[in-house]
């Protein structure tokens, strides 16, 4: 599992986009925002792997037809 490290400005941008940039931001809210970002990164990685596999299968299929 990879670890995501946010700079202070990146963390603030992420939190403001998720509506969590309140002055009384708790550690729980910050952890939730980081977990949400991790979840999104995992879904993007899974989609990228699936697309790469599909592309490879398509190329192999074309090569077999030649």
- Give the pLDDT confidence of 26-61 residue by residue, as tens digits: 668 888 888 999 999 999 999 999 988 888 888 778
Neighbours of 33 (CB within 10 A): 20
Distances (CA, A) of 29 to 3, 11, 33, 40: 18, 12, 6, 17
Reading the block at residue 46, the tokens are 């899974």
pTM over the 0.85 mark:
no
Domain residue ranges of the chain, discontinuous segments joined by +: 8-65
pLDDT at 1 (0 to 100): 42
């Amino acid at each position: 599992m990879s670890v995501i490290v946010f700079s202070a400005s990146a963390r603030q941008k992420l939190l403001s986009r998720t509506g969590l940039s309140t002055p009384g931001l708790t550690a729980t809210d910050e952890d939730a925002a980081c977990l949400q970002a991790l979840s999104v990164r995992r879904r993007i990685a899974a989609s990228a792997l699936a697309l790469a596999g599909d592309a490879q299968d398509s190329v192999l299929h074309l090569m077999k037809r030649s």
